[in-house]
Amino acid sequence: LTDKKMDETKKKKKKCCGYPISIFFIVVNEFCERFSYYGMRAVLVLYFRYFLLWDDDLATSIYHAFVALCYLTPILGAIIADSWLGKFKTIIYLSIVYAIGQVTMAVSTIHDITDANRDVNHTPYTSSVSLTLDLKSGVFLLSLIYFCSFCKYFEFDFIFIFSVFILILFAIKNRFRHRGSRYPKREHWMDWADEKYDKLLIAQIKMVLKVLFLYIPLPMFWMLFDQKGSRWTLQATTMSGDFGAFILQPDQVQTVNPILILTLVPIMDRLIFPLIQKCGLNFSPLKRMTVGMLFAAMAFVAAALVQIEIDKTLPNFPSSSESQLKVVNIYNKTLNVTISPNKYLLIYSFEVQHTFKHTYFIMPLADLNITNLDSIEPSATSNYTLVSHGKRDFVLRHGEQWCEFSRKFGFGASYTFLIPSTVFSTDVCTLSKTEVEDMKPNSVHMALQIPQYFLITTGEVMFSVTGLQFSYSQAPKKQAGWLCTNAVGNIIVLIVAELGKLPKQWAEYVLFASLLVAVSIIFSIMAYFYTYIDPAEIEAQIRKEQGLEPEEKEKETLEMEEKDEGQKNDQEVKKKQDIRFVKIRLCWNMLIYTL
């Protein structure tokens, strides 16, 4: 009867290509959610900078506060799911909140695009930011999987957490109560709790605390890594993205990271690491993580060198205690302006009253075929024109006369054209325009950011993938410390951006790189004294000492091992599957990020 029931159960579970059909729905939903999240995050700092008009420091701070909350709120979501609403209701309700946030951001950009008659700078990224937010919010309405993708890392049980907390307090209290030579020493301070608590639980907590101790320096890596979406994107806004055949926007340069991830993960996994192993070098996971941190530090040194070159091309804006005088000569003759050296120039402030004239037309619509009606107003902007590839042809018409001229514009530049009223004074067009370059175009190319992206991506592959592998192999599954290190790293960036305001951006990059180098040295010392363990072996040994029977899952595992003698230890196979899943998930996210 048991075999028949098992056969019936297998028949009920429909599969496609060896996987349950439900897997394909999860993949589609995961794609939609990741597409929404990464798409919004890629342009978020530009949204803060050019739509909300925040300065670079405030935009960076709010950006990293958002990223930190993205890694902290799933803990709250897991608690709500396990304690009150349940998994599926939590996903649905909070996904609605997620979608409302996306739609709100998209709607907030509408006024900026449709507004007219503004005398302000229309940046080339604003329309792309609006389109991106609209698209991402629409895609996310198809997805209800956000918390499902994260909450599996956060399995909470209030009774379990409370008992762990009480266990630690009891061990500390018992340790100080039994001080003295007459009491036998314990191997670990947590062993003082074995009088009251289960040894298996104590062993699991010791494993988690041992790994969490190594996690202390890890937020410093994420402090640098996540700045590619904030500081590095803002750095790209001061660079030229003209690649000839196409124009690269500042937020689009971030796609270098996922492209390199998809390239480097198989190269590292199949070529570099096996080659190092064949050379007889002990390149342990903790050593890989240390090298990854050093690569991230080198990436910020490269970013500092690029920033130094950018600073050489930036205009010197007057400070709050200075004024700037610009003289534009619109006459045909040379105008000499002389200011005595080492002398000050008094600039008086005064009020001016002026009446602006507004011209408008009132025309009957009968017997008229109007294709375009616009007005030219004094001292106002009447229209915005998209200039593709930096070149634009202009035509000035007056009746049957016209004048043509073209100009190639540089990205990040500001120009003023002064056209005299005598342009059409004769039958021949005599265009003697005066051109003023208010701000020079960006001359440092975005291609110079590729080395720093290569270094930070190499560091990510060696640090992030290896770190997850280390966490899976050295601690029980039910621990969320790894993702919390990402949140702490973003909080550190937030604090530095608000409090440690350095006069030069390159100095901040050097500061971050120096901090990570110092932390990597500390981490390497901690790794040197770390002893690798096998949690499954320790748990099995404790169960055997206590005379406990294996759990049902372990019984099934033993039966499978007996049936297949050539199969390796099931626990090791499971670890390899988990590591492979981590790599596949990382590549999957990076593929979506590239899109």
- Do 428 and 451 sit in the same domain of this protein? no
- Do 477 and 591 sit in the same domain of this protein? yes
Instruction: List, in sequence order, the alpha helices (H) in 152-228.
Output: 158-177, 199-215, 219-225
Please say whether the beta carbons of 160 and 90 come within 8 A: no
Tokens for 107? 């709607």
- Within a domain: 189: no
- Do 500 and 423 sit in the same domain of this protein? no
- Within a domain: 292: yes
- Do 421 and 455 sit in the same domain of this protein? no
Domain boundary residue among 439, 464, 496?
A: 439
Helix (H) or strand (E) holding 519: helix 505-528
pLDDT confidence of residue 301: 96
pLDDT confidence of residue 152: 45
Between CA 461 and CA 464 the distance in angstroms is 6
Terminal-residue alpha carbon distance, the chain: 51
Residues 6+ apart with CB under 8 A from 155: 78, 82, 477, 478
- Do 404 and 531 sit in the same domain of this protein? no
- Within a domain: 466: yes
Between CA 531 and CA 533 the distance in angstroms is 6
- Do 455 and 560 sit in the same domain of this protein? yes
* Number of domain units in the chain: 2
Between CA 223 and CA 518 the distance in angstroms is 14
- Within a domain: 32: no
pTM: 0.73
pLDDT confidence of residue 459: 92
Give the CATH number for residue 224: 1.20.1250.20
Q: Residue 153's CB: how many other CB atoms inside 10 A?
A: 19
Between CA 38 and CA 139 the distance in angstroms is 12
Q: Which of 212, 210, 201, 183 lies closest to 175 in space, CA to CA?
A: 183
Domain boundary residue among 439, 469, 499?
A: 439
* Residue 401, CA distances (Å) to 22, 27, 420, 428, 429 in order: 70, 63, 15, 8, 7
- Do 552 and 480 sit in the same domain of this protein? yes
Burial of residue 459 (CB within 10 Å: 0-12, 13-18, 19+) is buried
| pLDDT per 10-residue tile (average), the chain, 595 residues | 52 65 73 81 87 86 88 78 78 80 77 47 46 43 42 47 67 71 67 68 73 83 90 91 82 89 88 87 86 94 95 80 74 73 66 62 55 58 64 76 78 78 65 75 90 94 83 63 78 79 87 93 88 69 62 48 46 54 55 56
pLDDT confidence of residue 316: 77
CA 130 to centroid of chain Cα atoms: 19
- Do 455 and 592 sit in the same domain of this protein? yes
Taking the alpha carbons of 533, 534, 540, 544 in that order, is the dihedral positive or negative? negative
Domain boundary residue among 439, 471, 502?
A: 439
- Do 513 and 492 sit in the same domain of this protein? yes
- Within a domain: 527: yes
- Do 426 and 457 sit in the same domain of this protein? no
- How many CA atoms does the CB half-sphere of 229 hold within 13 Å? 26
- Within a domain: 380: no
Residues 6+ apart with CB under 8 A from 304: 506, 507, 509, 510, 513
- Do 489 and 567 sit in the same domain of this protein? yes
Phi and psi dihedrals of 213, rounded to 5? -65, -40
Phi and psi dihedrals of 435, rounded to 5? -110, 130
Helix (H) or strand (E) holding 296: helix 285-313
- Do 484 and 406 sit in the same domain of this protein? no
Helix (H) or strand (E) holding 482: helix 481-499
- Within a domain: 167: no
Q: Residue 527's CB: how many other CB atoms inside 10 A?
A: 18
pLDDT confidence of residue 141: 42
Please say whether the beta carbons of 303 and 509 come within 8 A: yes
- Within a domain: 56: no
Between CA 272 and CA 318 the distance in angstroms is 52
Range of the domain at 409: 392-439
Q: Residue 446's CB: how many other CB atoms inside 10 A?
A: 24
